[in-house]
Structure 1
Amino acid sequence: MWKVVASGVVVFPGLFWALRRLLPRVYCHWNDADVVLVSERLVSSVHALMATAAGVVIVASCWNNVIHDRHWLATDFVVYYGVPYMTYDIVAMYLSHYHRFRVKGHEEYQQHSLRTIGSFVRREFLLVLHHIALLTILLPVTLFSRKDQGDFFIGCLFLTEVSTPFVSLGKILIQLGLQEGSVHKANGGMVLLTFFLCRIALFPFMYWMYGRHYSLALHTVPAHLPLATNLGSCCILAPQLYWFILLCRKGYRLYQRSRQASPTGGAKDN
């Protein structure tokens, strides 16, 4: 019973509900879109910190034998927190989308409908697809297809959440009007660093660890893995590369804007 009460089915929606009622009391000038956005991002950060902690524990426990070493968190965290969070987050993202366009005065957003849901799916198609893929692919693989092997690699996948708190903090700082401060700039650097290390470089690292276990050169590892494993890795990695490119472009634009706005930049332009 206690596992159900403490699971993500209760924790994440409950925290989201509590934040939606607490934040307007602290920031009275925020509208519904502001409150929902920050609530969603804070809950996302909580889940990311939990996933990161679980990933660190699993990776450290299974380091010696990346194929056969086991840790109970590899399965339990997915069941009790991963799946509930991904399901909750789709709803939370939709609510953020809905309130954002409702505040902007779009007539069709005066009430929830299939039209508003369709608009959300079209605008956030890649994110929605990412969540659904994790629910329909990662969950069955974690629970049924691994044959009690590879907990180390499940722990590595948990570590992809390392960058999430920094991404969320960036959006919250913008919401607070602090996007021109040094904290936002430093956080932007952390976003790029953690995203690259834990969402992109992590995949060659996992292949290298697999190769180390079987005494294989890194470039020969894909040939020793099932096609489904390689395709699954590519399907997870591809959107990460796309989002990383978008983050780099955004960071470059912010850098250029900051440089032009600075006294040195202005003098140089003249």
Structure 2
Amino acid sequence: MIIHKFCRLDDGRSVSYRAGGDGPVLVLLHGWGMSSLVFSPLMQRLSCCRRIIAPDLRGHGHSHGGPGYALGDFAADIEQCLNLAGAEEIALLGWSLGGMVALEMVERLGERLKKLILVSTTPCFVQRDGWPHGQPASRVNALSRRFRRDPAAALEGFFLQQFDGETKQGPLIQTCKHELFDLAPLPLASAGLGGLSTLCDADLRELSPRCLPTLIMHGRCDAIIPPAAGEYLARRLPEAQWKLLDGVGHAPFIGRLDFCADILADFLI
């Protein structure tokens, strides 16, 4: 059974998280504008053999906002939440923005972190000189303007874009959309805009984390983050396995739940 919990941080703010299952700890970090509910089907599949902890990033879901939304700010909240939850021997899965936060957390967690999984993750979200594998900054700025005008419409459009180009639309997409937008609050305005600003500013291409068994999974049809960004990480990170999934977009654990759950279960053994 997956239970919704809260932990209170040292500064009085709360982090919301979903937890359940038994076994070694698997932490799930969601992407921009979403919440831990995006992992609901995956949590149900993996909780039979893992203790799942899926936090809402600060200002998302039911977690309190904060004075900043840089990668280090998100990571600091999650680290403290895991400390309070008594999480040891951790496997960490980050998706999209959550994958960038996961990269930020590698050194913070130290030897407690045993395995790393990056799903649809990039070291640099926007295009820069020498880096064509991102979104044009103008497109991120346009999303920011849409979010200011109508957060719900902007987030729904962004969510559906994650499945563009998929060869088969999985039945969980509409269910997940309902949970995300009807059963949970939208992210705070400060978190939505701050997260987009972080996506524009963050550049982890020179990050050199320690040797760590790592699975990098990316959909070939990803319309948000080009697969070449994931390939870059696979070449850069020691002990990385690269999985390119045909016919899958930005959220493979929704569009191809069973397939992805099997890949993850094999890697986590």
TM-score class, shorter: under 0.3
More helix by share: 1
TM-score (norm 1): 0.24
TM-score (norm 2): 0.24
More strand by share: 2
Question: Which has the greater radius of gyration?
Answer: 1
